[in-house]
Amino acid sequence: MQKRIVIIGGGFAGINLSLELGKNKHYQVTLVDKNNYNFFPPLIYQVATAYLEPSSISYPIRKLFRSKDNLHFRLGELQKIIPESKQIILNNGTLDYDMLVFATGAETNYFGMENVRKHAIPMKTLSDAIQMRNRLLTHFEEATISTDKEEVRKMLTIVVAGGGPTGVEISGMFAEMRHRIMHKDYPELKNTGAQIYLVDGGAALLKPMSRKSQDHTLESLTKLGVKVILNSHVSDFANDQVIFSDGTQIATKNLIWAAGVSAMRFDGIPPTSYGRGKRLMVDAFHQIEGLPDIYAIGDTCIQSGDPAYPEGHPQVAQVAIQQGVSLAANFKRLAENKALRSFVYSDRGSMAIIGSNKAVVDLPKPKLHLRGFIAWCAWLFIHLLSLISYRNRINTLYHWTVAYFSKDQSLRMIIRPVDIPSVDDEPVPEEKNSAG
């Protein structure tokens, strides 16, 4: 009889675990996610800046599962876990499991700043990217008809909080858009005095990368016109003012938040199961300590047992992918009564794109630092290969090619979703008297 594996989350970790177990005769796998698609987070910022369309980096989960009879999808949101009865409660029903896997990733961390949570633009989901694109393009349009120079400057000034790869990449993208596109699409907005700021609380950008990469990134962004502020963090965002820890302020309507993530807590999981950053504590085989048959992989967990990472693994895509593959292999061994293997992370390196023909790459084996055009080509190649389908790769390559040779893109459209009332919400027409 096939055992039931329920996976919560359709990101890198959950999708790779599911696909590795596809067509496995020992397991029936159900993946639960609040979205019916998988998407590629490293390219979210390119959707947000209208260089890629959403379909270039996303793919329907059901289509991924088509040829694998033992894989199933359930659209829903987790509300509670009942470990005693091996059951989970969703917003639209319940599911029973033999093994439960958390692959829920992480959410944006606002560090308790309520104004930032309410008014900043997050950079975590596809919905965030579309919201950001609409918001920025709307501000550009409003600025073309405003007669208040200070308001125009606020609409066009952009502050990016967070000096990691996302913050660096989106800052570089905005800088190039300002030089190549703004004067063509918005000739009314010349000489407004608007600026692009990149802010980080550390002493350098791209903290996990080499000093060479950090220095080159800072130099390249500065040449592009980005004003980099280090050793300072955002403490509030109110009345169109980004307020910093040292008391200084920047007037803007656009604060893009790429400053940190946090895992999530779940009803039914005891507080003792959580570690730093709300991450679930798991052993070397991905099982949550003290909870039999419940596992966690990816950003939502902090794992012990890997000698090279005693404080836990970084919350990056490669860790999630490798953990998904590792847990799938252990489930197969479990079904065949073979010894389980502990997880050991293989670091494939770090990279970040700064702009056209500009990127940095650090490779651990052999220890190598690349920058400039070669690093840029490597970044493009790796990210294309990492997309989940051939359709995504071809679509993305097409848009990148057009943007590279034309120094432009044609996706800058404001498309707002409209709430369509359901049939139940529509008024029922009054019945007419049959006599007339």
As annotated, the residues of the chain forming the CATH 3.50.50.60 domain(s) are 3-34+76-106+263-335
4 has pLDDT over 50: yes
Question: How many residues in total does the chain contain?
Answer: 436
What is the spatial distance between Cα 222 and Cα 238, in angstroms, rounded to a whole number?
A: 27
Identify the residue with better confidence: 431 or 330. Answer: 330
Q: Which residue ranges does the chain devote to CATH 3.50.50.100?
A: 114-261+349-406
Top-confidence residue, 92 or 418 = 92
381-410 burial, b at 16+ Cβ within 10 Å, e below that, comes to eebeebbbeeebbebbeebbeebeeeeebe
The amino acid that residue 368 corresponds to is L
Query: How far is it, in rounded angstroms, from Cα 6 to Cα 407?
Result: 46
Sign of CA dihedral 204, 206, 211, 216: negative
So what's the pLDDT on residue 412?
79
CA distance 286 to 276: 16
Weakest-pLDDT range from 70-84, 194-208, 419-433: 419-433
Q: What percent of the chain has pLDDT over 70?
A: 95
Do residues 261 and 299 touch, judged by C-beta distance below 8 A? Answer: yes
- Residue given tokens 């439960």 in the structure block: 100
What is the pLDDT averaged over residues 151-157? 95
CB 345 within 8 A of CB 38: no
Note the CATH number of domain 114-261+349-406. 3.50.50.100
* Residue 429: pLDDT band with limits 50, 70, 90: very low
Structure tokens at 72: 């199933």
Non-local CB neighbours of 101 within 8 Å, separated by 6+ positions:
5, 6, 7, 8, 14, 17, 286, 294, 295, 296, 297, 327
Dmax (CA) for the chain in angstroms is 90
- State the pTM of this model: 0.89
Q: Note the pLDDT tens digit of each residue in 99-116.
A: 999 999 999 999 999 999
Q: Which residues pair with 261 in a beta bridge?
A: 108
State how beta strands 358-363 and 368-371 pair. antiparallel
SS3 state at 229: strand
Q: Quick check: 312 and 276 in contact, CB under 8 A?
A: yes
How much is the pLDDT for 414?
80
The Cβ-side half-sphere exposure at 261, using a 13 Å CA radius, reads 19
Give per-residue pLDDT as tens, 380-410: 999 999 998 989 999 999 989 988 888 777 6
Q: Looking up tokens 């703004």, which residue turns up?
A: 182
Q: Is the pLDDT of residue 422 over 60?
A: no
CATH topology of domain 3-34+76-106+263-335: FAD/NAD(P)-binding domain (3.50.50)
Is the distance from CB of 273 to CB of 292 less than 8 angstroms? Answer: no
- Output the pLDDT for position 421: 53
For the stretch 168-218, pLDDT in tens is 999 999 999 888 888 888 888 888 889 999 999 999 999 989 999 999 999
What pLDDT is attached to residue 428? 44
Are 142 and 156 in contact by the 8 Å Cβ rule? The answer is: no
